[in-house]
Chain A
Amino acid sequence: MQKIGVFVCHCGTNIAGTVDVKAVAEALGKEPGVVFSAEYPYMCSEAGQNLIKNAIKEYGLTGIVVCSCSPRMHEATFRKTAAAAGLNSYMVEIANIREQCSWIHKDIKVATEKAIVLGRTAIAKVALNAPLTASESPVVKRALVIGGGIAGIQTALDIADAGYEVDLVEKEPTIGGKMAQIDKTFPTLDCAACILTPKMVDCAQNEKIHIYAYSEVEKVKGFVGNFTVSIKKKARFVDETKCTGCGVCTEKCPQKKTPNLFNLGLDTRSAIYIPFAQAIPKVATIDADYCNMLKNGKCGVCSKVCAAGAIDYKQQDQIIEQQYGAIVVATGFNPIKLDGYDEFAYNESPDVVTSLELERLMNAAGPNGGTLLRPSDKTHPHTIVFVQCVGSRDTTDCGKPYCSKICCMYTAKHAMLIRDKYPDTEVYVFYIDVRTPGKNFDEFYRRAVEEYGVHYIKGMVGKVMPQPDGKLLVRGADLLMNEQILINADMVVLAAAIEPDKSARPLATMLTASMDTNDFFTEAHPKLRPVESPTAGIFLSGVCQGPKDIPETVAQASACAAKVIGLLAKDKLLSNPCVAHSDENLCNGCSSCEKVCPYGAITYVDKEFRMPDRTTKIRRVASVNAAVCQGCGACTVACPSGAMDLSGFSNKQIMAEVDAICR
C-alpha cells in the first residue's frame, strides 16, 4: 500500500507569486496513494525539512514528492531529509514548479494547472520508485592538472601542499604559460617573471608534483574517483634525465633562423632551444620542423657539443597511462587571429602589433632587450595609438561577442609604462568603455590619465593606413568632440580579444565536459559551483572557464584545488545507484546492449537455468557492472527483449509519467 506525501514549496513569492500553492496542495492531496499534502513558504529551510521528516514518521510515508525548484538545485537536500527520517533517499521525486512553471508563466490559472500536472506526474513516478542503495567505489589519490600556466601551477601547488600526488601536463616544452610572456602585471606593476618563476621552481622541486612538459592528453576513460588517462609525451629528441640545461647546444646550433615562438615570432632562435632562461623543466628541445639533422640527416652539431650525451635524434613519442581521482582543466587562452580585420593593417605593417607582442617588445628578455623599438626599422616610436576592443564585443564572424575583461587594464598599464619610460612619446588610447571593476583598478586607470597624461579618446579607430614614409595614419572617431581625427602614429597596438585555447574543444569531448558556444567550459552552477564542471570529477581553473585576470585566475585555481582536495580526501565515493540491470530470464544473449554501452560496463556470463522439464541449460546472459555503469540508459532501448531496465528511470516509471501528463 502506497503512502505518498506531497510537499508544495512557496519559495517565498518565487512560486507562490504565480502558482496558487494551496490549490496545488489540495488537488494533489486527492491523487491516488497520497495520504498527506502540505504547503510551506520555504521547504528547503530547516523548518520545512522538519515538516517533511515529521510527516514521514507520523504517516509512515513510503514516498515523497516535493513540488519546488529544479531537482538540480535541491534534490540532494530532500534526499538527505528523507534519509534522516528513515526513508530511502531514492523514494523522493521533485516536481519542478519553479524554473519550469512559476518563473516562465504569468497567468496564475495556467501556472497552477501546470503545477498540478507536474505534481501528479511526480506522484505517478514516485509510486513506482524502488529503494536504491548507492554502491561504493574507491578514490585514486592522485590528481591530473591539464595546462601549466599560472592557473595549473597554482592548482597543482595547492593540491600537492595537502599531501596528494599531482601530475601537471603542459603541451609546451616549459610550464609558465602566458604569464611567463608578460612583462609587468597590473595594478601593482610588479614584474610577472619575478612572481611567477618562484612558483615554477616550487612546482619542479615539490616531490608530490610530476611535470609532464611537452605532453598532451590523448585519451580519458573512467569516471570520478577513477579516471584512466593516456598522456602523450612528445619527442623532444633530448633525454630529459640527462640534459643539464647548460645551453651550449643552443649556442652552437647552426640553424638560427627558427621563429622564436616564445617571442611570438618577433625574432629568431636556434632549432634546438630552451624557450626562456627560467624555463621549467630547463631542458632543451629540438624543433623538428627546422633541425637539419632531423630533416635531412646533415648536421649533428648539438649531439657533438653535448657533454651530457643527452641528444637522441631517434626519440619517439611516448604514451604514459596513469590513474587519477580528479582532473583539473587549466587550458587557458590565446589572443584571437586578426586576419578578419584588414582595416587595422595588422598583416600589412610590422609596426601594428597585438598587446601580447608589445609585452615581448618591452620585456628585458624580449627581442630588443627591453627597449621599445618599432619592429620595422628599430627606431624609437614617438606616437603610439592603442585600439581597444579589437574583436571583443564583436558579434560579426571574425570577433567574439563577449568582453575579454583584461584589455582595459593591460592597455592602461602599457600606456602608463611607456609614458613613464619614454616621456617624449605621446600615447593615445581609443576606447568604447573603460571597464575597471577590481580592487585598485579604476585608481590605476585614472593615474594613467591624470599623472601620466595618456590621451584617452572615446571612440573607435576605423582605419589604419601605412604610409610610404613608414608612418601609420590612423583615422578614428572622437565621439565626445563629435569629430573625426587623424593621428600620424609610429606604432599601433591592438588589444586583441582572447579566446579559449584550441586544445580545449577536443579535450572537452574526451572529458565529456560541457562547453558554451564560445568554447569556454561550463561550470556546474554559474554562481554556486563556479570551479566544477557538471561532469563529476572534472574541475575548472583559470581562463578556460571565462576571461579572467591573474588575481582572479589564482583565486579560482586555489578554489579549484580545495574542491579537488575535498574529493581526494574521501576514501570511497558513493556511486550513483541509478544504473542499468538486466532480467536474466528475459535476456536472450544477443549482445545488442554490450555494443551500445560507452563504458564497457556490460559483459556476458554463462549461467545455468532450470528448464520446465527439470533439466538444466546453460545460457549466455548480460551482466552489468554497477561500478562502471553511468546510467545513461542506451542499453535499455537497444535491448530487443526488454530485459534491460534502468533503476530510478525505469520503463514503467517513464510510462507512468507520460500517462500522467497526457491524462
Chain B
Amino acid sequence: MSMNEFKPKIVAFCCNWCSYAGADLAGTNRLNYPADVKIIRVPCSCRVNPLFILRAFQRGADGVILCGCHPGDCHYTTGNYYARRRMTLLFSMLDYLGIEKERTRVEWVSAAEGAKFATVMNDFVKTVTELGENKRLEDLRCKK
C-alpha cells in the first residue's frame, strides 16, 4: 500500500435497531469493508440532523452515509420516512453547493443484512475514493 494512496474520511450514521446491528452482523461474519468508514450510533435515522452532515463536510469528511431500517420496518414506525425526506432535500442542496450527490447516500440495512452492509460500504468507499478529496465547506463562525 503506497503512502500517497487517497484514504477518504467517511462518516456513517447508523440507526441502533437495524443498521448498527447489521454492521455488527457484518463483523460477526467477518465481512471485510474499508477502515475508512467510521460509524456513529444514533437511536433512529430520524435523529440525524442535517447540521451533523454539514458539520462533517466542514471538518473535512469526504463522504457521509446514513443507514436506517427498511421503509415500513422502522423501530419507531415512521422515523426513516422523515430521514428520507430530510436527506433528499439536504443532498440536493449539497449537490448545488458543489458536493457531489455521490458523496452522500441513504441506505436501508436491516439487522439481518450484514452482507448488504459490507457491500454498501465497499461500494460507497469505492465511489468516494474515485471522486477524490472533497472540498471543505467553510465554517464562517470560525472566522469571527
A and B touch in the complex (CB under 8 A): yes
A residues in contact (CB < 8 Å) with B: 70-72, 96, 98-101, 103-107, 110-111, 113-114, 117-118, 121, 508-509, 512, 514-517, 522, 534-535, 578, 596, 598, 630-634, 636-638, 646, 649, 651, 654-655, 657-659, 661-663
Q: How far apart sit A70 and B77, CA to CA, in the bound complex (Å)?
A: 24
Whether the pair B40, A517 counts as a contact (CB closer than 8 A) is no
The proximity string for B residues 50-94 relative to A, scoring 1 for CB distances below 8 Å and 0 otherwise, is 111001100111000000010011111111001000100000000
Number of A-B residue pairs at CB separation under 8 A:
152
Q: Quick check: is B47 within 8 A (CB to CB) of the other chain?
A: yes
Task: Find out whether the CB atom of B39 lies under 8 angstroms from the CB atom of A96.
Answer: yes
Q: A634-B76, A651-B51 are in contact. Are A534 and B39 (CB under 8 A)?
A: no
Partner of B59, one of A72, A121, A516, A658: A658
Enumerate 5 A-B pairs (CB-CB under 8 Å) in ascending A order: A107-B35, A514-B110, A633-B46, A634-B76, A658-B52
Q: Known: A646-B43, A662-B59. Contact between A654 and B21, CB under 8 A?
A: no
Question: Which residues of A sit under 8 angstroms from B113, Cβ to Cβ?
Answer: 517
The answer, yes or no, to whether B120 is at the interface (CB within 8 Å) is no
Closest to B112 in A: A516
Interface residues on B, range: 35 or more
A517 CA to B27 CA in the complex, in Å? Answer: 20
Residue B106 is within 8 A (CB to CB) of chain A in the complex: no
Is B128 on the interface with A (CB-CB < 8 A)? Answer: no
Decide if B76 touches A100 in the complex (CB within 8 Å).
no
Q: How far is the CB of B35 from chain A (nearest CB, A)?
A: 4
B118 to chain A: closest residue by CB:
A104
Question: Which residues of A have CB within 8 Å of B135?
Answer: none
Contact B49 A651 (CB under 8 A): yes
Given A98-B27, A655-B55, are A661 and B77 neighbors across the interface (CB < 8 Å)? no
Contact check, B28 vs A114: say whether CB atoms are below 8 A apart. no
A651 to B47, CA, bound (A): 9
B91 CB → nearest A CB, Å: 15
Taking CB atoms, residues of chain A closer than 8 Å to B77 are 512, 598
B contact residues around A114 at 8 Å (CB)? 35, 38
In the complex formed, the residue of A with least CB distance to B116 is A517
Given contact pairs A113-B35, A512-B73, a sample of 16 additional A-B residue pairs in the complex whose CB atoms are under 8 Å apart? A99-B26, A99-B27, A100-B24, A104-B27, A104-B32, A105-B35, A512-B76, A514-B112, A522-B112, A598-B77, A634-B46, A634-B76, A661-B9, A661-B11, A662-B56, A662-B61
Asked if residues A631 and B43 are in contact (CB atoms below 8 Å), the reply is yes
Across the interface, A598 reaches (CB within 8 A) one of B9, B24, B31, B78, namely B78
Chain B residue nearest to A599 (CB atoms) is: B76
Docked Cα-Cα span, A117 to B46, in Å, equals 25
Partner of A100, one of B27, B30, B56, B79: B27
A509 touches B82 (CB 8 A): no
Which positions 17-34 of chain B face chain A at CB distance < 8 Å? Answer: 17-18, 20-21, 23-24, 26-28, 30-33
- Which of B26, B55, B75 is the one whose CB lies under 8 Å from A658? B55
Listed in ascending order, the chain B residues whose CB lies under 8 Å from chain A are 9, 11, 17-18, 20-21, 23-24, 26-28, 30-33, 35, 38-44, 46-52, 55-56, 59-61, 69, 72-79, 82, 86, 110-113, 118
Known: A100-B23, A104-B26. A534 touches B17 (CB 8 A): yes
Interface centre among A113, A114, A514, A596 (most CB of B within 10 A): A514
Shortest distance from the beta carbon of A536 to any chain B beta carbon, whole Å: 10
Contact between chains at B24 and A658 (CB < 8 Å) = no
CB-CB under 8 A from A121, the residues of chain B are 38, 40
Contact B49 A636 (CB under 8 A): yes
Question: Is B111's CB under 8 angstroms from A514's CB?
Answer: yes
Residues of A with C-beta under 8 A to B47 = 632-634, 636-637, 646, 649, 654
- For B27, B42, B52, which residue has the most chain A Cβ atoms within 10 angstroms? B27
| CA gap between A634 and B47 in the complex, in Å | 6
Q: How far is the CB of A537 from chain B (nearest CB, A)?
A: 12
CB-CB under 8 A from A636, the residues of chain B are 47, 49
Q: Nearest Cβ distance between residue A333 and chain B, in whole angstroms?
A: 18
Nearest B residue to A101 by beta-carbon distance?
Answer: B35
The 8 Å CB contact of B28, one of A103, A105, A509, A661, is A103
Chain B contacts for A98, CB-based, 8 A: 27
> A522–B111 contact, CB under 8 A?
yes
Question: Closest Cβ of chain B: how far from A647's Cβ, in Å?
Answer: 11
Contacts of A118 in B (CB 8 A): 38
How long is the Cα–Cα vector from A70 to B52 in the complex, in angstroms? 23
Which residues from B are CB-within-8-Å of A100? 23-24, 27, 39
Partner of A104, one of B31, B41, B43, B73: B31
Q: Nearest chain A CB to B80's CB is how many angstroms away?
A: 10
Shortest distance between the CB of B16 and any CB in chain A (Å): 8
Of listed B23, B38, B61, residue having the most chain A CB within 10 A: B38
- Report the separation of the CA atoms of residues A638 and B79 in the bound assembly, to the nearest whole angstrom: 11
Known interface pairs A522-B112, A634-B78, A658-B52; A515-B73 also in contact (CB < 8 Å):
yes
Report the 6 A-B pairs with minimum CB-CB distance, sorted nearest first. Answer: A99-B27, A633-B47, A662-B59, A632-B76, A632-B44, A634-B46
In the complex, the answer to whether A634 meets B32 with C-beta atoms within 8 Å is no
B residues less than 8 Å from A649 (CB atoms): 42-43, 47
CB distance from B123 to the nearest CB of A (A): 15
Most A-side CB within 10 Å, residue of B43, B46, B69: B43
Q: Once the chains are docked, how many angstroms separate the CA of A71 from the CA of B17? A: 12
Whether A632 contacts B24 in the complex (CB less than 8 A), given A514-B73, A535-B75, comes out as: no
A578 CA to B30 CA in the complex, in Å? 31
- Specify the chain A residue showing the minimal Cβ separation from B61: A662
A596 to B35, CA, bound (A): 35
From residue B97, how far is it (CB to closest CB) to chain A in Å? 18
The residues of B that contact A657 with a CB separation of less than 8 Å are: 40
Bound: A654/B79 CA distance, A: 18
Task: Write out the residue numbers on chain B whose beta carbons fall within 8 Å of the beta carbon of A663.
Answer: 59
Query: A residues within 8 A CB of B111?
Result: 514, 522, 534
Cβ distance B68 to chain A, nearest Cβ, rounded Å: 11
User: With a CB–CB cut-off of 8 A, which chain A residues contact B43?
Assistant: 578, 631-633, 646, 649
Query: A118 vs B110: C-alpha distance in the bound complex, in angstroms?
Result: 23
Q: How far is the CB of B138 from chain A (nearest CB, A)?
A: 14
Nearest B-chain residue to A648, judged by Cβ: B43
Indicate if the CB atoms of A598 and B39 lie closer than 8 Å: no
Are B79 and A598 neighbours in the complex by a CB distance under 8 Å?
yes
Q: Provide the residues of chain B in CB contact with A646, threshold 8 Å.
A: 43, 47
B residues less than 8 Å from A512 (CB atoms): 73-77
| Docked pose: A118 CA to B51 CA in angstroms | 21
Q: Are A517 and B112 in contact (CB under 8 A)?
A: yes
B79 to chain A, nearest CB (A): 5
B28 to chain A minimum Cβ distance, whole angstroms, is: 6
